[in-house]
């Protein structure tokens, strides 16, 4: 959430950056400033009236002590009138503060200086890439056919048990999932990230803190009886670990990694682009989260990008890194890099990771702060990234490594998987 003071002091900059993000309601900026003016006026009126109550109350004691009961009684009547006036002022102030808060959360985060101008994914800028696109043997097939051939994933069974988008991993397919999760976590903890295993459901405050509410409410599964949300990503519970906390500067940076299943309704998703593992309602992901000093967040963003890049390189997958344009970025992000890997059988690029800097947009909502060298409380910056999302990584590993003899397992995974190949033998 943006800060009102920043908006007031940098109104033209805010409007310009909202334009880069193609935000459709720039008039909200003036509405926010007008509501803040009302809030200030009502606060002043409330404080002035309360001061009169306090002053008159002190006079009453002095008048009573001097024996001037008539004057004391008159002052009591004034105090009663002042107190009666406080109620409506307080109600108006609370109403304006709520309206201000409700309007503030409608503004997205401002894109950083290095975010490309653009409206669609076609305007994203490729930063770099690596790896070689494999040349598959004749008769090679996409991963959903490989899953059936080698009895790795049963999409129909998942549809029977739950519905479309909830696959059942079987046999070596389940083992490969487990191998990927273990490898990703070990790769991250070796780089200094602390492993967490958070809840898979969160309360409303947690979903609000990371920006899923009110922006993405329709994309989450909701448990009505208990007012909980199934998490769309580990980012939500892990970042909220430090909600309402004030950290010491010596504790920074905070680096966390977590494996969780992720649940997304993905309303309106259909067609060939969502076949197989390309888009699911439940999937597994290993996440990275960092909390850092504001002056270090963009350097840390680049470090996290390199970290994810090395992980993809270790799997031998062809990849590219995209700097997302303003119109293709998420609501809460200040800058995002997407990683895509090439699916040889489908002949298309599939997104497998997003690494984002949120600056203080999330931490302002969650009040995650640190004491600086002057002893003042300052908002931290939050960052996160997928390291990695499993479904499309698994799809590309199966497709790109298929041979007439079976599916080769990348060397980095072999000790976790227990074999160098998947075959029917």
| Annotated binding-site ranges for L-serine | 233, 264, 287, 384
Buried b (16+ CB within 10 A) or exposed e, 113-136: eebbebeeeeebeeeebebeebeb
Helix boundaries (H) for 249-373:
297-314, 361-366
Cis peptide bond upstream of 214, omega within 30: yes
User: How far is Cα 148 from Cα 151, in angstroms, rounded to an integer?
Assistant: 5
Binding site: residue ranges? 233, 264-266, 287, 351-354, 384
CB 341 within 8 A of CB 392: yes
Residues annotated in the binding site for ATP, as ranges?
264-266, 351-354
Q: Please, are residues 414 and 420 in contact by the beta-carbon 8 Å criterion?
A: yes
According to DSSP H, which parts of 105-225 are helical?
Answer: 143-149, 155-161, 171-190, 204-209
Residue 378: C-alpha distances to residues 93, 169, 306, 339, 366 (Å): 26, 46, 28, 32, 13
CA separation, residue 48 to residues 53, 88, 170 (Å): 9, 14, 70
The bridge status of strand 168-169 relative to strand 246-248 is unpaired
CB 293 within 8 A of CB 382: no
Torsion angle of alpha carbons 364, 207, 189, 380, nearest 10°? 0
* Cis ω for the linkage preceding 422 (within 30 of 0): no
CA distance 291 to 353: 19
**Sign (positive/negative) of CA torsion 178, 181, 184, 188?**
negative
Instruction: Say how far apart CA 169 and CA 167 lie, in whole Å.
Output: 6
């Amino acid at each position: 959430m943006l800060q009102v003071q920043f908006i007031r002091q940098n109104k033209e900059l805010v409007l310009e950056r909202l334009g880069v993000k193609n935000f459709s309601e720039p008039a909200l900026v003036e509405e926010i400033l007008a509501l803040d003016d009302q809030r200030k006026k009502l606060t002043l009126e409330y404080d002035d009236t309360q001061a009169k109550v306090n002053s008159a109350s002190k006079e009453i004691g002095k008048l009573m002590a001097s024996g001037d009961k008539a004057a004391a009684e008159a002052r009591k009547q004034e105090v009663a009138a002042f107190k009666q006036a406080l109620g409506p002022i307080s109600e108006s102030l609370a109403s304006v503060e709520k309206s201000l808060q409700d309007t503030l959360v409608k503004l997205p985060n401002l894109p950083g200086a290095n975010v490309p101008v653009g409206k669609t994914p076609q305007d994203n800028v490729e930063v770099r890439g690596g790896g070689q696109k494999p040349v598959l043997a004749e008769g090679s097939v996409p991963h959903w056919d490989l899953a059936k051939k080698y009895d790795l994933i049963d999409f129909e069974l998942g549809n029977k048990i739950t519905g479309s988008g909830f696959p059942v991993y079987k046999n070596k397919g389940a083992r490969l999932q487990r191998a990927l999760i273990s490898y990703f976590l070990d790769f991250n903890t070796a780089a200094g990230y602390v492993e967490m295993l958070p809840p898979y459901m969160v309360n409303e405050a947690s979903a609000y803190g990371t920006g899923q509410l009110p922006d993405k409410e329709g994309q989450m599964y909701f448990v009505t009886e208990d007012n909980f949300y199934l998490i769309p990503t580990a980012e939500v519970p892990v970042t909220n670990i430090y909600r309402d906390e004030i950290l010491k500067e010596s504790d920074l940076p905070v680096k966390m990694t977590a494996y969780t299943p992720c649940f997304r309704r993905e309303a309106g998703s259909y067609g060939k682009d969502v076949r197989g593992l390309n888009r699911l309602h439940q999937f597994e992901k290993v996440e990275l989260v960092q909390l850092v000093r504001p002056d270090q967040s963009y350097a840390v963003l680049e470090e996290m990008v390199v970290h994810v890049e090395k992980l993809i390189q270790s799997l031998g997958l062809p990849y590219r890194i995209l700097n997302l344009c303003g119109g293709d970025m998420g609501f809460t992000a200040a800058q995002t890099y997407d990683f895509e890997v090439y699916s040889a059988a489908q002949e298309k690029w599939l997104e497998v990771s997003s690494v984002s800097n949120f600056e203080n947009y999330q931490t302002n909502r969650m009040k995650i702060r640190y004491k600086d060298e002057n002893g003042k409380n300052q908002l931290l910056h939050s960052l996160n990234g997928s390291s990695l999302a499993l479904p499309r990584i698994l799809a590309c590993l199966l497709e790109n490594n298929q041979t007439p003899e079976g599916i080769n397992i990348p060397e980095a995974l072999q000790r976790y998987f227990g074999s160098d190949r998947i075959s029917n033998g």
